[in-house]
Amino acid sequence: MNPTIRAVIDTAALRHNLGRVRELAPRSKVLAVIKANAYGHGSVPSAVALAGADGFAVARLEEAVALRAAGLRHRIVLLEGVFGTDGLRQAAHHRLDLCVHEPEQLAMLDAWRGDHEFSVWVKVDTGMNRLGFKPAQFPRALSRLSACAAVAKPLTLVTHLANADDRDDATTREQLDLFGRLTAGVPGERSIANSAGTLGWEASRADWVRPGLMLYGVSPFSDTTGQGLGLRPAMRLETTVIAVKDVEAGERVGYGGAWTAPRRSRLAVAAAGYGDGYPRNTPSGTPVLVNEQRAELVGRVSMDMITIDVTHLPRVLVGDVVVLWGGGVPVEQVARAAGTIPYELICGVSQRVHLDVR
């Protein structure tokens, strides 16, 4: 029996999207960002599908260890680096590249006495004000790392863009200029672009691009979908109808009676709710597909169920397939309706959703 709710993962779409990155950035190496369970797509199967990338990036040590345990031998970069000697020991054991963004991490590397040389991606904060050495600290960080016996040379020089998803925002240009000034004459490869940089800012496609979202076929820009950018959505979240019922005009539906039937209506109850990662604040009117035909969510999303107005559809039966996003329902559209971003929806698919990797 099919599991009630499943995220169908299209590995051919992942490969296609990697190909799109290669087209856009033919001179760059690709560090495929597969943190957070590959944005909900399953980290190991996604890594296997994206094996043509030049390396992988994850946020946390455990994510990298899981990839090594699955036999992946690519370069793996820990985007947050490690803290503490135990983390460093594990990074050495699993041959992980480290992002270094913090003075404590410099001290830790200085104190390292093992024989492993770490490949280091040193990060400068050019305006994001999250991770990275401040511009004033950066030259000192570079000279300490250059003098550190535990660090392989040359370093890779990294920054992260804060606003690249807004093609009119001057911040990206300022970040690129500052990064250029701070790294002028410093040996080593450069890495700047996330998906929005890769797609929208040619000057950010340096030696390494670091796409995440676009690999999953989703747009980082709010005015278009992945499809509009030549990408193919890799996740289809689908479930089944578990009840069909009629309500009279004026009857209220679901918790809080948040939707009132404007006419005699037929409703399909589908097995999906915020317990699966379908956001509770998704409003009435948000599109879904029932048997590949468009219908609308009505009433409040509960933990395990949603209600869909199927009055206009010919015959809807228990067991029919409902698509919540992917295919004809762009996740970007659902995210906008729910007042969030597509990153949050795909990453937020919960553990009880079966990943059906194809």
Ligand X SMILES: Cc1ncc(COP(=O)(O)O)c(C=O)c1O
Binding site for ligand X (CB under 6 A): 33, 79, 160, 194-196, 210-213, 220
Distance of closest approach, residue 213 Cβ to ligand X, in angstroms: 4
Active site annotation includes 39: no
Distance of closest approach, residue 91 Cβ to ligand X, in angstroms: 17
DSSP helix/strand/coil, 107: helix
DSSP letter assigned to residue 35: H
Distance of closest approach, residue 330 Cβ to ligand X, in angstroms: 17
Active site annotation includes 123: no
DSSP helix/strand/coil, 346: helix
Q: Which is nearer to ligand X, 188 or 220 (CB)?
A: 220
CB count in 10 Å sphere of residue 179 = 24
Q: Are 41 and 216 in contact, with CB atoms under 8 Å apart?
A: yes
Distance of closest approach, residue 287 Cβ to ligand X, in angstroms: 24
> How many angstroms separate the CA atoms of 236 and 278, rounded?
13
Nearest residue by C-beta to ligand X?
Answer: 212
- How would you class 333 by CB atoms within 10 Å of its CB: exposed for 0-12, middle for 13-18, buried for 19 or more? middle
Catalytic one of 29, 35, 245, 274: 35
Q: Which is nearer to ligand X, 212 or 277 (CB)?
A: 212
DSSP helix/strand/coil, 332: helix
- Strand-pair category, 120-123 with 97-100: parallel
Catalytic one of 134, 216, 255, 343: 255
Q: Which is nearer to ligand X, 50 or 196 (CB)?
A: 196
Q: Which is nearer to ligand X, 47 or 213 (CB)?
A: 213
Q: Which two tokens stand for residue 355?
A: 């990943």
Owner of token pair 């980290």 = 43
Distances from the Cα of 101 to the Cα of 15, 301, 334, angstroms: 31, 41, 35
Distance of closest approach, residue 172 Cβ to ligand X, in angstroms: 13
Q: Which two tokens stand for residue 233?
A: 């959505």
Q: Which is nearer to ligand X, 33 or 142 (CB)?
A: 33
DSSP letter assigned to residue 155: P
Catalytic positions = 35, 255
